[in-house]
Structure 1
């Protein structure tokens, strides 16, 4: 009997520990649960160099995200860096100044790293790196911010491969004397595979007690010769490294640019991420996976707010559970997100845009969203030319709708008898356009989109059940 009581106590304890971790929501796994609360991740965050770039003040950066009411950031591990000017990005946080890259691997006593300082030793760990990484995660956790930690990245061209510690020219181990397209394969990278696996195990061991953490296998693995088999191998390593842990972290996988149907999903992957996903058809075609569908990078549609705001509203009201706008206003010396990048920048982001993302986040959190699902088909009327609409619903109870270019559009919803709160929202300013209470006898109810601006959102909730 005593053994049974002890065993039950252990189950309760470990269950409580697991409930604190960012996880799939047990009722609706298209969303997250964090510290026992339903969670959607919404942000406009820096270009992934917060940890690896020693000049970046990540505390100031995290303070800014928290003050803006956002709850996610994405950061790269330090096995990949970019040269200054890569992809036309000004003040790129993924492009540390000479000598300012910090990596999980320690520097050796031998000079010759291609971007300043000594070469790396792939058999030794840099304690300063792990201290910085853990503090970054702890500081993010104090502010309620989830970290998507990206382990690997393709070498898009020779300039990135030239900077990687995995390149034999940059380490003292004689490892990585291969072409850049062979780095993330199972059969062409020689002993580098063992180095990569050892790195993953080290990171997993060091971060075992972190709650606000998800592991992303690889950024944009559809470039640079990266194979699906290699990605699955890294997922297997994470799973094996955590097999005895009370806390098991979510694994995320980057699937493609735009839309793509996920084929042969790894059973341990819980979040399937896409880039540049507009319109958000990829949510619908992958919704049956029963996992979170995320968009964790945007860009290449100019510098203005409108496109990225519209992309965010459409994606999340189509049923997505994670949205990360790539925000170039965060830079070294401007960790408060005030850097005024030039017009040629391949994306946007600024303090005003982040306020708009908080409006979206607050709108979604105004619902019991784990009970909702995509329900665009409830509106059967033909939209105006160039009009857009996305709808989440718990049918008969709560409706969240986003409209673009649909002024004066009339539509019908079939509603049970009851009282309903109806509120129209200006998605740019956050101001209510109109609000009303409907006492409905049941059946079809006609609504018309207000003629105010190009975009608006509808919140309709039944107040009697």
Structure 2
């Protein structure tokens, strides 16, 4: 990257690595992407970049097959939290180099609570019975197998659990030693956070303080399980959280679908703008998997619709959530060909319009049913209308001569193009198939 990623001074709804606002798009098959090495990592990144992607997620997790932990082991197999496993950190360094070389922005999550869920805790390095560093009674565990049963680990700040907090900070400091030199990294404190504002503020401030000591400024957010809480905390703590992470809005369990998905996003944007000014809205996870997906996640068709409503709705960053080999895990469509095609489609539209220059304008649409069409526009210059399932609508357009194009987002291909003269209204009716986009641009 030419400069450190930051909110655009020209349009702070979006990110910038210079003067121009940019739209961040991604889709990858693994959340802790740094754990992949060599060609497996580089080929995956190359596929993303070739499609126009420039955004990935990276959790500092070590729970999947083939992952390595951050800590070294003793001869008896226990972990030593005061000695590092070089393989873990070498993988992180290689990942950072690979993304920086490709101008790919990394949203890095420090704590993923699913790492400690259920039976994973039994073998995890942080469990005092598995290391020779923490007092055995320092992290009491309640019964059950939900990730909130690891509550003691995420209460170290408010309970002043110094023995554990010291090593948590040591771990985060090691992450920051690697990442602060890279301008393509932004930070997310916790995945699906529930532990409370004390935990979230502690780590947000810790990251910012370490960055300041290094002489750099970084961007930090927190992702709550309830996306509305993420918005509220940016409003309440604007100095700690510099962008809004609303990923959980893109699934069934805590999110919304259809027109409600769009309307809620727009209400949040208004709230943030009124309270603290425009800030980037990120969606590092857009759920919805193949083969019907998980009940909580939704299916692949819904994933595509969430993606397009976010892009047109003014979000700064959108990434399709992970899939596994064969696409059978059900949480997302990741770096699949369908996901990459959607990214190509957005980039095709960007060849003729400047997305950050457009604003959501549902008021310009008439005769459209709820969830039938979504509009963004710079009136008199450009209009983009997304149809999730085909349909027709009447668009209120400033008088003039325009180039009218139809894009099939499932093929990343323009399907029709003509010049039209408009006096005040234009009927737009793309082909009756899913995910069609009508683009209207003023003729010179």
1:196-215 matches, cutoff 5 A: 196-215=168-187
Q: Is the 8 A contact 1:50 1:56 kept in 2?
A: no
Q: 1:348 maps to what in 2? A: 333
Determine which of 129, 139, 154 is the counterpart of 1:177: 139
State the distance in 2 between where 1:215 and 1:71 align.
16
Determine which of 383, 386, 393 is the counterpart of 2:368: 383
Structure 1 residues 207 and 455, CA gap change in structure 2 (3 angstroms): closer
Farther off after superposition, 147-156 or 297-306? 297-306
Q: Write out per-residue CA displacement over residues 115-136 of structure 1, whole angstroms, 9 at most, x where no aligned residue.
A: xxx3332223344433321211
Q: Is the 8 A contact 1:387 1:406 kept in 2?
A: no
Q: Looking at secondary structure, tell me which structure has more helix per residue.
A: 2
Q: Is the 8 A contact 1:75 1:148 kept in 2?
A: yes
Q: 1:262 maps to what in 2? A: 231
Over the aligned positions, Cα root-mean-square deviation in angstroms equals: 2.7
Q: Write out per-residue CA displacement over residues 244-287 of structure 1, whole angstroms, 9 at most, x where no aligned residue.
A: 44432221321335655722323232332222243244421221
State the distance in 2 between where 1:365 and 1:127 align.
44
Residue 324, structure 1, aligned to residue 335, structure 2? no
Determine which of 403, 409, 423 is the counterpart of 1:427: 409
Q: Is the 8 A contact 1:150 1:217 kept in 2?
A: yes
1:32-47 matches, cutoff 5 A: 32-47=15-30
Structure 1 residues 32 and 366, CA gap change in structure 2 (3 angstroms): farther
Q: 1:14 maps to what in 2? A: none
Structure 1 residues 297 and 213, CA gap change in structure 2 (3 angstroms): same
Q: 1:194 maps to what in 2? A: 166
Determine which of 90, 94, 105 is the counterpart of 1:146: 105
Q: Write out per-residue CA displacement over residues 400-431 of structure 1, whole angstroms, 9 at most, x where no aligned residue.
A: 22112342x2313140x443222111111122
State the distance in 1 between where 2:198 and 2:210 align.
18
Q: 2:430 maps to what in 1? A: 450
Residue 162, structure 1, aligned to residue 122, structure 2? yes
Q: CA deviation at 1:182?
A: 1.8
Q: 2:279 maps to what in 1? A: 291
Q: Write out per-residue CA displacement over residues 293-315 of structure 1, whole angstroms, 9 at most, x where no aligned residue.
A: 12222335525642221221112
1:228-377 matches, cutoff 5 A: 228-257=197-226, 262-265=231-234, 266=237, 267-273=239-245, 274-275=247-248, 276=251, 277=255, 278=257, 279-288=261-270, 289=272, 290-300=278-288, 302-303=292-293, 305-329=300-324, 339-342=325-328, 345-349=330-334, 350-364=336-350, 366-377=352-363
* TM-score in terms of structure 1 length: 0.79
Structure 1 residues 161 and 52, CA gap change in structure 2 (3 angstroms): farther
Q: 2:296 maps to what in 1? A: none
Q: CA deviation at 1:233?
A: 0.8
Q: 2:145 maps to what in 1? A: none
Q: CA deviation at 1:190?
A: 4.2
Q: Is the 8 A contact 1:319 1:374 kept in 2?
A: yes
Q: Is the 8 A contact 1:205 1:241 kept in 2?
A: no
State the distance in 1 between where 2:177 and 2:311 align.
33
Structure 1 residues 66 and 448, CA gap change in structure 2 (3 angstroms): closer
Q: 1:101 maps to what in 2? A: 68
Determine which of 96, 119, 132 is the counterpart of 1:137: 96
Structure 1 residues 163 and 436, CA gap change in structure 2 (3 angstroms): farther
Residue 403, structure 1, aligned to residue 387, structure 2? yes
SS of aligned partner of 1:129:
helix
State the distance in 1 between where 2:51 and 2:413 align.
17
Q: Is the 8 A contact 1:413 1:446 kept in 2?
A: yes
Aligned residues: 404
Question: What residue ranges of structure 1 are gaps of 5+ in the alignment?
Answer: 1-16, 83-94, 112-117, 330-338
* TM-score in terms of structure 2 length: 0.82
Q: Is the 8 A contact 2:57 2:107 kept in 1?
A: yes
Structure 1 residues 54 and 63, CA gap change in structure 2 (3 angstroms): closer
Q: Write out per-residue CA displacement over residues 314-356 of structure 1, whole angstroms, 9 at most, x where no aligned residue.
A: 1211111111112314xxxxxxxxx3244x6344342233223
Determine which of 76, 82, 86 is the counterpart of 1:123: 82
SS of aligned partner of 2:441:
strand
Q: CA deviation at 1:449?
A: 1.4
